[in-house]
Amino acid sequence: MTSGTDRAGVLARALRASVDGDASAIADVYTDDVRAWTPALFADSRAELATEFERRDDAFSDIELEVVPLDVTGDYACAEWTVAMTHTGPLTVADGMTVEPTGIRVTLHGATVAEFRDERICALRQYWDELSVYEQLGLVARPDGSS
């Protein structure tokens, strides 16, 4: 049986692989039949998940990831994370509209829940507020009325 500390490390490595697009880490941390859901993607296999990670655009660079494991119990692990990144490339948004680089530093906070089968992740759910990125880039007004 894999320890809680090991599973927390696997989850942190999986999150890093998703940011870096590290295909070898993806193969190491996910089962072949992993099911993944985030606000930005859905995948029914490790191959689909790897394809989704490869499809990422180059809209953001200078990406920093901080992962804080919250709990590991049985076959589940969860973590909170923060991604800070700079908008340095074209960003495609709704209806194919492209937002040219702004140079703005954006911070995104989220949480991930992973289910394990042995030492690999077989299911993954991530939660974050995708609208907050648009707010920080000034594309939509914030709830307080500022942009």
Per-residue model confidence as pLDDT tens digits over 29-86: 999 999 999 988 899 999 999 888 877 778 999 999 999 988 888 899 999 999 999 9
Residue 141: the pLDDT is 79
Show the domain range for 126: 4-136
Mean pLDDT of 105-118: 96
Number of domains in the chain: 1
- Predicted TM-score of the model (pTM): 0.86
Confidence band of 147 (pLDDT split at 50, 70, 90): low
Say if 122 falls within a structural domain: yes
Say if 83 falls within a structural domain: yes
* Structure tokens belonging to residue 76: 């589940």
Residue 1: the pLDDT is 47
Mean pLDDT of 22-27: 85
Residue 21: the pLDDT is 78
CA dist 115 and 7 (Å) reads 10
Mean pLDDT of 4-32: 89
CATH of the domain at 32: 3.10.450.50
Give me the torsion for CA of 16, 21, 22, 23, rounded to 10°. Answer: 130
